[in-house]
């Protein structure tokens, strides 16, 4: 075997192929150049085929290109050996390479023959052109259909938008109507409630006023009569220092000296009680304001004090409730132009809500078995302050030291029918009506601030004179429309007006 391989790679007794060309330089280099160029061309063709196959993975017979590539590479190698054997007579290797080339070319030829029917089945360029034209026509038809569909879609979208706009407008009208109906209902319910309460309070005040006036009016003459009788007894004792035993026994049994000392005190206490009842009646009449439905000058402090008088019973301690302390800080306010009865209604709603909140906290403390701590702890406090902001506005602040209002509730605080109380304990109308009374009826402002665990404060800002405020606003609007001055100048003009 070793000898065979040596023979295969040895030149043996053969002579180089160049002897056939008699070593003529031009002839030898002619064959060298020709075979070399052919070999280079052969080697470049497979590279091009490989690149083509890699770019066209959809080719149905890409293996035949590989066979052609192998055949061409083998042909290129045979030409290289043609150059090599000009000087080195290794004809066994050269012949073997030609044999390999022959086998590859033969196999390629056979496979190509079997491939011809399949290749003939492929569509011709004319058929491809016809199919392409049919596809183009179908594409054009589909594009026209698509355009028609798009046009119909656009028209439908326009109609839908128009209908949606109509429905939205109708919804807005319905929502506005519903809101107006709700506000009207709120006003009717609250007006009826306050009217009934005012009539009840006025009736009670009237019924109490007549007998208390009778009592109060008779206290002065009764005091005079008693003083006269006591003077008479003193005079009798001076003239008759030693009365009969029966009279002495009667004086001793009735304790005449104690009667002389205590009877004037009784009359003074009766007068004080009568005065207290008269003050209560006056507060009830101020709160009801049945005869003051129109705007007029009123004392804000009287309205607040009358409201506190009505709610006095709820401020006192009871059970495990430690009571509520009222802290008042009044500024020297002038009488303001307002609807007194409606402002009293606002004060009643805000103060009553503060009392409810403090009572609920005390009740919660009681349920947590901390009633002793609640009764001995800090009293609930409601602070009421008033002050003059400027020559046109006053401010009323009503604050309590409760736990505060959650942010989620603050957003809906003035919404009609919104309430956090249990069913039957609240209608959700009080603050909504109060907001309308302050903002719409008095052209003022009502807002609420609350800090968790620190309390809640309502601030009411109302003009001293609604009529003057309205006139100022009209003048200011006329000035704006007629004078395109900068905003700063307009604001300065507004303050001057």
pTM for the model stands at 0.47
> Which tens digit of pLDDT belongs to each residue from 269-325?
887 777 767 766 665 665 555 445 567 888 899 889 888 887 888 888 877 778 889
For tokens 């030693």, the residue is: 242
For residues 314 and 381, give the distance between their C-alpha atoms in angstroms, rounded to a whole number. 13
**Confidence band for 490, pLDDT divided at 50, 70 and 90:** very low
Structure tokens at 391: 């020559």
Q: Cβ distance 105 to 72 under 8 Å?
A: no
Q: Is 49 exposed, middle or buried (0-12, 13-18, 19+ CB in 10 A)?
A: middle
Q: Is the pLDDT of residue 214 over 90?
A: no
> Which tens digit of pLDDT belongs to each residue from 393-409?
999 999 998 888 888 78
Return phi, psi of residue 220, to 5°. Answer: -65, -50
What's the pLDDT score for residue 373?
A: 42
What's the pLDDT score for residue 487?
A: 46
**Confidence band for 61, pLDDT divided at 50, 70 and 90:** low
If you average pLDDT over residues 21-46, what whole number do you get? 79
For residues 391 and 20, give the distance between their C-alpha atoms in angstroms, rounded to a whole number. 133
Specify the DSSP element, H or E, that contains 226: helix 125-239
| Most confidently modeled range among 115-129, 181-195, 439-453 | 439-453
If you average pLDDT over residues 185-209, what whole number do you get? 62
For residues 497 and 493, give the distance between their C-alpha atoms in angstroms, rounded to a whole number. 6
If you average pLDDT over residues 438-452, what whole number do you get? 87
Higher pLDDT, 481 or 327: 327
Q: Cβ distance 370 to 315 under 8 Å?
A: no
Higher pLDDT, 493 or 75: 75
Q: Is the pLDDT of residue 461 over 90?
A: yes
Structure tokens at 207: 């019924």
Task: Please name which of 78, 80, 109 lies closest in space to residue 95, comparing C-alpha atoms.
Answer: 78
Q: Which residues contact 263 (CB under 8 A, 6 or more apart)?
A: 226, 230
If you average pLDDT over residues 448-466, what whole number do you get? 88
What's the pLDDT score for residue 459?
A: 93
Task: Please name which of 73, 70, 90 lies closest in space to residue 81, comparing C-alpha atoms.
Answer: 90
For residues 291 and 296, give the distance between their C-alpha atoms in angstroms, rounded to a whole number. 11
Higher pLDDT, 67 or 332: 332
If you average pLDDT over residues 14-37, what whole number do you get? 77
Structure tokens at 493: 């003009």
Higher pLDDT, 367 or 391: 391
Structure tokens at 99: 């044999």
93-128 residues labelled b (16+ CB within 10 A) or e (exposed) = ebeebbeebeebbeebeeeeeebeeeeeeeeeeeee
């Amino acid at each position: 075997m070793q000898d065979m391989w040596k023979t295969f790679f040895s030149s043996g007794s053969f002579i180089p192929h160049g002897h056939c060309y008699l070593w003529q330089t031009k002839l030898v280099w002619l064959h060298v150049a020709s075979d070399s160029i052919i070999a280079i061309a052969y080697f470049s063709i497979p590279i091009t085929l490989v690149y083509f196959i890699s770019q066209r993975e959809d080719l149905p017979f890409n293996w035949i290109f590989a066979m052609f590539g192998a055949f061409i590479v083998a042909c290129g190698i045979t030409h290289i050996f043609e150059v090599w054997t000009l000087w080195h007579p290794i004809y066994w290797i050269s012949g073997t390479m030609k044999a390999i080339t022959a086998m590859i070319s033969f196999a390629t030829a056979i496979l190509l023959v079997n491939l011809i029917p399949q290749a003939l089945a492929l569509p011709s360029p004319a058929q491809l052109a016809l199919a392409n034209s049919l596809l183009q026509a179908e594409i054009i038809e589909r594009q026209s259909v698509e355009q028609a569909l798009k046009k119909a879609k656009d028209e439908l979208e326009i109609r839908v938008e128009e209908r949606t706009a109509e429905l939205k407008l109708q919804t807005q009208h319905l929502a506005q109507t519903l809101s107006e109906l709700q506000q009207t209902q709120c006003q009717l319910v609250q007006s009826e409630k306050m009217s009934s309460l005012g009539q009840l309070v006025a009736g009670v005040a009237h019924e109490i006023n007549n007998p208390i006036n009778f009592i109060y009016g008779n206290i002065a003459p009764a005091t005079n009569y008693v003083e006269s009788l006591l003077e008479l007894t003193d005079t009798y004792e001076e003239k008759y220092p030693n009365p009969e035993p029966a009279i002495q026994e009667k004086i001793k049994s009735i304790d005449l000296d104690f009667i002389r000392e205590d009877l004037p005190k009784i009359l003074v206490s009766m007068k004080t009680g009568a005065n207290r009842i008269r003050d209560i009646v006056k507060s009830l009449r101020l709160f009801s304001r049945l005869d003051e439905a129109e705007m007029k000058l009123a004392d804000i402090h009287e309205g607040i004090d009358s409201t506190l008088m009505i709610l006095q019973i709820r401020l006192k301690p009871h059970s495990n409730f430690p009571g509520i302390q009222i802290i008042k800080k009044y500024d020297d306010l002038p009488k303001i132009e307002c609807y007194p009865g409606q402002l009293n209604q606002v004060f009643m709603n805000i103060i009553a809500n503060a009392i409810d909140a403090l009572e609920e906290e005390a009740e919660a403390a009681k349920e947590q078995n901390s009633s002793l701590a609640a009764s001995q702890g800090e009293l609930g406090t409601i602070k009421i302050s008033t002050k003059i902001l400027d020559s046109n506005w006053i401010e009323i602040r009503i604050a309590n030291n409760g736990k505060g209002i959650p942010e989620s509730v603050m957003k809906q605080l003035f919404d009609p029918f919104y309430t956090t109380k249990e069913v039957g304990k609240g209608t959700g109308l009080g603050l909504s009506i109060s907001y309308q009374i302050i903002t719409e009826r008095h052209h003022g402002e009502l807002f609420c601030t609350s800090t968790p665990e620190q309390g809640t404060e309502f601030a009411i800002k109302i003009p001293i004179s609604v009529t003057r405020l309205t006139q100022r606003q009209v003048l200011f609007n006329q000035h704006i429309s007629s004078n395109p001055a900068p905003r700063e100048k307009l604001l300065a003009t507004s303050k001057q007006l």
